[in-house]
A and B are shown apart, each in its own frame.
Chain A
């Protein structure tokens, strides 16, 4: 097994709206011996605002952090927990590798040499590697107890396919494989790569709510009791908007929305607070505590 050591790009939400993700990811990383070295002085990836505005800016902002990482941690690939950051970073690397002219151009913009050698991966991407799944399972104290989960990947983990090169662009199944191996019963559903509406929840809330309502509706219809994601923006748009949608649209959804790392942390022995479940808008601790219990059969065998 390759050494689990990566350069770490936390992203702007890591200490605020994505704090539950950071906290649970660190818990899991500690348990499986995943070493994450934070890039010193990383900056915002620019996300959709830079993308909409200007090609140079959408390449240069991520390239600065990538170049810093190559200097600080030569030879280490970069992991971004947020799939929005992942997309911006991976896209900038992809573009810089298309030609020497591109690479030089972006190096000039950031006033640093960017080699575009270190690869960019999402946290989900490294956690679903088969040997990491085995390692994760070996560290579990409890199982996910047959929790009926709709795995939600969103947009930027899978699209554009030629940049992400992750799983299947329409029907990814790797998060299901990870969580099923931990004892969940992931459901088949149709909205795993649908868009949550992104920043339209701020600029055109009524339009964006419909996108999320459809996601909840499909998850529920397919028998899910929870949705699991790997993106802080998706998480916020689902978890924070669920009760708003119920009151605005007359629905009655009560599906907790978890980060995949929260469930893994709980199964590795974290308390709900340690796993980040206290940060949720839709109550999430009860279902996790009900389902994530020690597997008595395994205990008997061990005894």
Chain B
């Protein structure tokens, strides 16, 4: 069993944990560590810290530990944890808020995950719609996994499931403006 002397935990770390919990509208004290969230999590096997352990880290004020973990970056947002929590804690939202804070502080615990979402939103900002073939191609370039899923590509091309043609909205400006209003407020880019 790992022991933590709570007097040594920095006040700033404890406060940051509280801030993250507030953003998720969660009271950290509600969690009694039953573990149902981790038991049902489809990705827990591959996480360094499971949803249950992320909750514990925040309770203890070990915020940096939570922010540098891969767990929140691997979260598939399937919402099983929130659904099964006997205390009705929205753990999915906690995972999301931890990941956002981690991202804001420059962590890229799963760089591929960041590359994928960045590329996805870039496409939406430009075209108003997602073009899967371009998303896959640019993701491969961005993440360095150049040959990924290339074996499936010929079949998809042959069947006409994907092509070189893009689809987009007519009113591209409208979608771009929404994107800018949401993500580039106060001149600060997220």
Measuring CB to CB, which residues of chain A are less than 8 angstroms from any residue of chain B?
12-13, 15-17, 19, 41-44, 46-54, 56-57, 60-61, 64, 109-111, 155, 159-161, 169-170, 193-195, 197-200, 202-208, 210-211, 240, 278-279, 281
Counting from the closest, the 7 A-B pairs by CB-CB distance are A195-B78, A207-B46, A159-B79, A203-B112, A56-B182, A49-B120, A12-B130
Write out the residue numbers on chain A whose beta carbons fall within 8 Å of the beta carbon of B156: 17
Give which listed residue, B74, B77, B100, B178, contacts A48 with CB less than 8 A: B77
Please measure, in the bound complex, the distance between the C-alpha atom of A41 and the C-alpha atom of B72, giving whole angstroms: 34
Contact B45 A43 (CB under 8 A): no
Interface size on B, residues (CB 8 A): 55
Contact B83 A169 (CB under 8 A): yes
Minimum Cβ distance to chain B for residue A217 (Å): 14
Minimum Cβ distance to chain A for residue B83 (Å): 5
Contact A202 B132 (CB under 8 A): no
Give which listed residue, B78, B124, B190, contacts A61 with CB less than 8 A: B124
Tell me the chain B residues, 101-154 only, with Cβ under 8 Å from chain A.
Answer: 110, 112-113, 115-117, 120-121, 124, 128-133, 136, 139, 143, 148-149, 152
Write out the residue numbers on chain A whose beta carbons fall within 8 Å of the beta carbon of B99: 52
Minimum Cβ distance to chain B for residue A167 (Å): 13
Write out the residue numbers on chain A whose beta carbons fall within 8 Å of the beta carbon of B183: 53-54, 56-57
Please measure, in the bound complex, the distance between the C-alpha atom of A19 and the C-alpha atom of B139, giving whole angstroms: 22
Write out the residue numbers on chain A whose beta carbons fall within 8 Å of the beta carbon of B190: 53-54
Contact B83 A211 (CB under 8 A): no
Contact A204 B80 (CB under 8 A): no
B170 contacts the other chain (CB 8 A): yes
Contact A279 B77 (CB under 8 A): no
Contact B76 A12 (CB under 8 A): no
Contact A109 B178 (CB under 8 A): yes
Contact B42 A211 (CB under 8 A): yes
Tell me the chain B residues, 75-109 only, with Cβ under 8 Å from chain A.
Answer: 76-80, 82-83, 96, 99-100
Give which listed residue, B43, B113, B132, B169, contacts A17 with CB less than 8 A: B132
Contact A49 B117 (CB under 8 A): yes
